[in-house]
Amino acid sequence: MEISASLVKDLREKTGAGMMDCKKALTETSGDFDKAIDYLRKKGIASASKKAGRTAKDGLVFSYIHGEGKVGVLLEINCETDFVARTDLFKLMVKDISMHIAAAAPTWVNPEEVPAETITKEKEIFIAQMQSQNKPAAVLEKIAEGKINKFYEENCLMKQSFVKDPNKKIEDIVKESIAALGENMVVRRFARFVLGEGING
């Protein structure tokens, strides 16, 4: 099947992938644009995971102010080189994630950052809530694990559904940028400020 140059160009603009990768994706999927995007995402995410071990020391500290100064976010995302940190795609990702933090108010970046005592307490609460259902301990434990995963999805930035596209998680957004730009990227830390928060009286 003949793949038109304009279709390849459109796919490249949509995904940020290289021309040859886009042409191959369209060939493999018989010219189906959406399937070609999925193909590139799967391929890109696989290659992104290979880059995850590389050190990311460059990047940006980005400030985002929302709601006429009512909410502010400071976000640090690292990449490997200053060259990538200056690209429009990297800056757009950083801005999108900052906007997401302003809207979704995560508490931690990753599940690994959640204190063990917080997880223990949450598990105890879940199990106490379900004990009246007379389920076996093993079943309660399994349900509690599912609840903890839900807790991560609600409170950890990387596991949250992206506010602009709920079909993707923030970790997917980062992986897609890694695949497109060819460098490891790490969301290092963030701070979210809400006007008047913590003021008593």
Per residue in 30-59, pLDDT (tens digit) is: 888 888 888 877 776 545 665 666 677 899
The pLDDT of residue 49: 60
The pLDDT of residue 48: 62
CB-count exposure of residue 66 (10 Å: 0-12, 13-18, 19+): middle
CA quadruple 18, 23, 27, 30: dihedral sign: positive
Which residue, chain included where needed, has tokens 């400020």?
193
| All structural domains of the chain | 5-51 (1.10.8.10), 58-109+156-194 (3.30.479.20), 115-154 (1.10.286.20)
The structure tokens listed for 163 are 């506010």
Q: What is the pLDDT of residues 126-167, one digit of tens each?
A: 878 777 777 777 787 788 888 899 999 999 999 999 999 999
The pLDDT of residue 47: 59
Are 183 and 80 contacting, i.e. CB atoms less than 8 angstroms apart? yes
In whole angstroms, give the CA distance from residue 62 to residue 95: 7
CA quadruple 11, 12, 15, 21: dihedral sign: positive
